[in-house]
């Protein structure tokens, strides 16, 4: 038996003995892929839910309860898709395990968000500060698509005691107040797009927009927000906590 044939038999044997576990559904599948066949096929299946064009949250009876009860400091919220199922699994692989393969599969959602924002070269991207590299990777990919667009890392995040995840909307807004500052001056006449990887309650993006408005005098109509994915499931329950 030659080396090539032996290697093939070894690979098949290993796939049978040590199959991968799909991070989206928990089923086993052969080595060499990130997701099982069914989950891989579902990544691009579902359409985005009907959402408020201003804040990106789900609407109830044609009204956005969030915009009715709180001041929103940006004029539009764009996203590429919903944070759920196979997309959620790919996102976690890309963000926490730095999987290039997962990031490649998520690129269509980034392109969809860029298209929804209707961006042009005279706008400035402001990445949301993060200890993970996914947001920085997203803006680099954006730069490849639109070489003329500007990227300014002007935002600084102040230290906080607790993580935002697992907190309710009301608590997030209270703890985020005053948690960002500007490290350089920004012109109030420019157009800005805040870039985040995933939005859940919208608290972080809105607090940054508030900072731009109050510290730099940037009007609401000159600020837009974009996230790669939007967590609709949690956003839909926010009315209980207002």
pLDDT value of residue 234 = 44
Length of the chain equals 242
* 32: phi then psi, degrees, rounded to nearest 5: 105, -5
pLDDT value of residue 55 = 75
Q: How far apart are CA 164 and CA 231, in angstroms?
A: 14
Gyration radius of the chain's alpha carbons: 20
Beta strands 123-127 and 76-79 are unpaired
Taking each continuous run of H as one helix and of E as one strand, the counts in the chain are: 9, 9
Q: How far apart are CA 60 and CA 41, in angstroms?
A: 30
Q: How far apart are CA 37 and CA 41, in angstroms?
A: 6
Q: Give bridge partners of residue 28 from the DSSP assignment.
A: 21
Q: Where are the beta strands (DSSP E) in the chain?
A: 20-21, 28-29, 76-79, 123-127, 150-151, 155-157, 180-182, 191-199, 223-230
> What are the sequence ranges of the domains in the chain?
1-42, 51-241
Tokens standing for 227? Answer: 């996230």
Instruction: Let me know: does 105 contact 34? Beta carbons within 8 Å.
Output: yes
Instruction: Let me know: does 124 contact 193? Beta carbons within 8 Å.
Output: yes
pLDDT value of residue 47 = 60
Instruction: Let me know: does 87 contact 230? Beta carbons within 8 Å.
Output: no
pLDDT value of residue 15 = 53
Q: What is the pLDDT of residues 71-96, one digit of tens each?
A: 899 998 888 888 989 999 999 999 99
pLDDT value of residue 236 = 45
Structural fold of domain 51-241: Rossmann fold (3.40.50)
* 189: phi then psi, degrees, rounded to nearest 5: -90, -10
Q: pTM value?
A: 0.82
pLDDT value of residue 223 = 95
Instruction: Let me know: does 129 contact 183? Beta carbons within 8 Å.
Output: no
How far is the first Cα of the chain from the last one, in angstroms, to the nearest whole number?
Answer: 70
The DSSP code sequence of 134-203 is HHHHHHHHHHHH-TT-EE---EEEPP-SS-STT--HHHHHHHHTT-EEESS---TTSEEEEEEEEESSSH
Instruction: Let me know: does 212 contact 223? Beta carbons within 8 Å.
Output: yes
From first to last of its 242 residues, the chain has per-residue pLDDT tens of 677 776 665 555 555 555 678 888 988 776 667 888 889 888 987 665 667 777 777 776 777 777 777 889 999 888 888 898 999 999 999 999 899 999 999 999 998 888 888 777 678 999 999 888 899 999 998 888 888 889 999 999 987 655 555 555 566 667 788 899 999 999 999 999 999 999 887 889 999 999 999 999 999 999 999 999 988 754 444 444 34
pLDDT value of residue 27 = 87
């Amino acid at each position: 038996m030659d080396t090539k044939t032996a290697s093939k038999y070894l690979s098949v044997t290993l796939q049978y003995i040590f199959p991968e576990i799909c991070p989206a559904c928990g089923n086993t599948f052969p080595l060499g892929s990130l997701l099982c066949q069914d989950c891989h096929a579902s990544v691009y299946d579902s359409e985005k839910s009907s959402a408020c064009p201003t804040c990106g949250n789900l609407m109830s009876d044609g009204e956005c309860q969030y915009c009715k009860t709180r001041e929103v400091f940006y004029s539009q919220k764009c996203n590429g898709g919903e944070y759920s199922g196979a997309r959620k699994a790919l996102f976690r692989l890309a963000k926490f395990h730095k999987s290039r393969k997962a990031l490649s599969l998520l690129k269509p959602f980034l392109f969809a968000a860029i298209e929804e924002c209707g961006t042009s070269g005279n706008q400035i991207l402001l990445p949301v500060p993060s200890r993970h590299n996914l947001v920085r990777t997203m803006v680099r990919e954006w730069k490849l698509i639109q070489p003329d667009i500007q990227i300014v890392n002007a935002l600084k995040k102040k230290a906080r005691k607790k993580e935002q995840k697992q907190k309710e909307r009301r608590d997030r807004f209270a703890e985020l107040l005053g948690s960002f500052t500007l490290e350089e001056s920004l012109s109030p006449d420019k157009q800005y797009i805040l870039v985040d990887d995933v939005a859940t309650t919208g608290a972080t993006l809105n607090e940054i927009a508030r900072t731009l408005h109050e510290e730099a005098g940037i009007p609401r109509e000159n600020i837009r927000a974009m996230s790669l994915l939007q967590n609709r499931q949690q956003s839909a329950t926010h009315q209980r906590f207002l």
